[in-house]
């Protein structure tokens, strides 16, 4: 049951528990509250360099908890224009604030309409409830 999990309605979601938030001409990407809770204490986040290309549904990095590592999948295809370097010193922000301070990358999408094809908040809630 997902009662306790936060799923903001201002963004879209992937089946792999990433979120995508359109902000002007870029898309902000991170992992969901459900994902951070499943992972446990995040200790390291591996993110791509600025300027690298990411492809929708392909892995762009990894997030490590004490017990295991999980791949991160990009919601959209495009170019990485920012990465959250503060997560090196504060990986716990992914747990404490997965939708705000725990953001991971900004992508300049090849086609911003790609975001429309992702799950909305209701769709994602149904996924985690299943």
Q: What residue ranges bind other proteins (CB under 8 A)? A: 40-41, 43-44, 46, 62, 64, 66-69, 88
Measured distance CA(19)–CA(85) in Å, rounded: 19
The two tokens of residue 122 are 């209701």
At residue 87's C-alpha, the angle toward residues 85 and 88, to 5°, is 80
Between 41 and 120, CB nearer to other proteins: 41
**Nearest approach, Cβ of residue 54 and other proteins (Å):** 16
Between 10 and 89, CB nearer to other proteins: 89
**Nearest approach, Cβ of residue 67 and other proteins (Å):** 6
- Residue 72 forms beta bridges with which residues? 61
**Nearest approach, Cβ of residue 69 and other proteins (Å):** 7
């Amino acid at each position: 049951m997902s009662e306790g999990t936060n799923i903001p309605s201002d963004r879209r979601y992937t089946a792999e528990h990433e979120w995508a938030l359109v902000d002007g001409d870029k898309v902000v990407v991170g992992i969901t509250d459900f994902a951070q809770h499943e992972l446990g204490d995040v200790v390291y986040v591996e993110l791509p360099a600025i300027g690298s290309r990411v492809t929708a549904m392909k892995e762009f990095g990894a997030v490590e908890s004490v017990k295991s590592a999980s791949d991160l999948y990009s919601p959209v295809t495009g170019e990485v224009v920012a990465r959250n370097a503060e997560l090196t010193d504060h990986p716990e922000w992914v747990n404490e604030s997965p939708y705000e301070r725990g953001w991971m990358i900004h992508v300049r999408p090849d086609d911003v309409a790609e975001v429309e094809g992702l799950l909305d908040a209701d769709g994602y809630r149904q996924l985690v409830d299943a």
